[in-house]
Every structure is written in C-alpha cells, then in structure tokens.
Amino acid sequence: MSGVGPGAASPGAGSGPWRLPPAVTIRDVGPRDGLQVEQPLPPETRVALTRALAAAGLREIEVAAFVSPRAVPAMAGAAELIAELGSLPGVVRTALVPNERGARDALAAGVDALTVTVSASERYSLRNTRMGRAQALAGLAPICAAAAARGDGVPVDVVISCAFGSPYEGEIAHAEVELCRDAAVAAGAARVTLADTTGMATPPRVAALVQRLGGEIGVHFHETRGTGLLNAWAAVACGVTRLDSSLGGLGGSPFASGAAGNVATEELVLVLEDAGVATGIDLDRLLRASALLAQAVGRELPSAVARSGPRLPPAR
C-alpha cells in the first residue's frame, strides 16, 4: 500500500510538535463538486468513478446534486444516477440539494444523506441561490423535516460557504458564521461544515474559527491560493476529524469568481496517513481511481500526488 495505511511505517499520530487525532473521516466530493464545472460525463462513467472511490475505502461520497440541469448541466440525471449506482454497502451516498424540492427528489431517489449549502456572505448567497442569507437559513427547517420524516431518518449536513471570506464582501466576521451554524443546528441539521469557497483561508484563520465554534465541525477547503492542504492540516491539528476533499483536486463553484479546485483526496490521504492519522483509504487504489478520472475528463489532474505518485513504490 505504497507506504501509507494500516501497517505502514509512519511517525505516528501525536509525534513531533502536533497533537493529532488518531483517525479522521474523509468525504470525497469529487463526483459532485469535482465534476460540476466539467463537461457532462456519461452516467456510467460517474457511476464507475464512485464505485472506484468506494473500492479505495471511501465511506462517505457526495455522489450527485439534485439541482436544475440548466444551471449545472454536469449534474443532470441525478435520480437515474442513484438508481444505476445502487446501494454501496458501508458507504454513505450523499447528495447536494438546493431547496426542499430538491431534497424531496433526492430522498425519493433513495440517497443516504443530504448536504445543503448556505452562505455566510449575503452577496454570494444571492449569486449562488438567488436567495438572501436569511431566506436561505429559513429554508433549512423544511429540508431537515423532510429528511427526518423518511422512515430511516436521513442526516443533513449544512455547509456554510464563504466561512473564511467572500470574494464580494471581503472579511466575514466570526459572529456571522456562528449565526449560520446556530441556525442550522436549530433547524435540525445533524452536522455543520465550514467551506472556504474561494480559497481565502489561511492556517491561522482556520484555527481561530474552528476554536471559536468548537464541537463536531467539518471543513471543506479549496486550493485557489495553494493553501488548501495547509488549511486541512491546521484543522486536523485543532481536533477536526471530518474533512471534504475531491479526487484529483477537481472542483470549484460555477457561481464564484476565482474559485478553484478542492483539496485533492490523494494529497490529504498521503499526508495524514504518513502522520499516523488513519483514514481507512488505500492510496494505491485511490490513484487507480484518479487515473480513471483523468481519462474521463481528458487531461492531467491538478493533484500533485496523482501526477507524481506515492512517496514509495507499491509493495511487491
């Protein structure tokens, strides 16, 4: 397993000056966030990519978005995609939904969890969803109620975009992010994730906001300014154990000026496993999934690990 993963020699969690958790959960958002700005791929290719991620050990995958195909053509056919994908034993299949209608469609399709985005930035909220922040927050309660009403109870993760700054308004006060977090929890959200939509975070800013909010917060970083992996490390060093990343480092918001790809799952796995933080993900299999993705999109991926490979050659 290329020197990472269970049984691999590594410095060990907590070695050196860092106090790291023993394990983290990585949610790969590649089939949704990674592909939403790409030319639409055939459903069978998207299904194959998702299955390759599951085979590599991913246990949470954002597989689709129930959004208007006119707004995001690459996400068309979400219900059909879920049907073709079928259940993945041990894997939580998550779908992004923009509103109650999208949530009900996703729930009817049989997804395992929902993500819904609200923005700490008023102007980004209007640009992304054509709703002001207050209206978007008010819309969380019916989504959470619909999810809870399904017999098996479906968890909702509210992702707070522009949590570390807005390309339209500049700095976002911590109190504004906290207001969004509190509203999400009050509406019935099971989890809350902080998203750095256009790559404005830095490690000190990550540490300050994570420490203020505390609790079981998740994080979602982009590499717009090359700080995404640094920010992920800072979050883990502050005790965060839920992180989003994207296979190959693809992704970005089609509605945000200057948005770039996500933290690459390959890079995150390599760094965390080498530090002794268990991810449960096999890097060799993940790199095979990356190769499949590169072939599908027809170009080299942003991920440096996808390009250069692991630290050590695969074990013979």
| pLDDT for the residue numbered 1 | 43
Is the pTM value of this prediction over 0.85? yes
Domain ranges of the chain: 25-298
CATH number of 25-298: 3.20.20.70
| pLDDT for the residue numbered 254 | 64
Match 């109870």 to its residue by tokens: 153
The arithmetic mean of pLDDT across residues 232-248, rounded, is: 97
pLDDT band at 77 (very low <50, low <70, confident <90, very high): very high
Q: Please state which of the ranges 14-23, 42-51, 263-272, 277-286 shows the lowest mean pLDDT.
A: 14-23
**Cα(292)–Cα(30) distance, integer angstroms:** 12
**Nearest alpha carbon to residue 43 among 73, 81, 69:** 81
| pLDDT for the residue numbered 212 | 96
| pLDDT for the residue numbered 129 | 82
* 14 or 301, which is more confident: 301
Q: Helix, strand or coil for residue 172?
A: coil
Start-to-end CA distance of the chain, whole Å, equals: 10
Alpha-carbon Rg for the chain, nearest whole angstrom, is 18
Q: Which two tokens stand for residue 72?
A: 């995001």
Query: Strands, DSSP E only, in the chain?
Result: 25-28, 60-65, 92-96, 113-119, 156-161, 191-195, 217-220, 242-245
| pLDDT for the residue numbered 5 | 45
pLDDT exceeds cutoff 80 at 13 = no
**Cα(236)–Cα(210) distance, integer angstroms:** 10
Over residues 161-188, the pLDDT tens digits come to 999 999 889 999 999 999 999 999 999 9
Over residues 93-144, the pLDDT tens digits come to 999 999 999 999 999 999 999 999 999 999 989 987 888 999 999 999 999 9
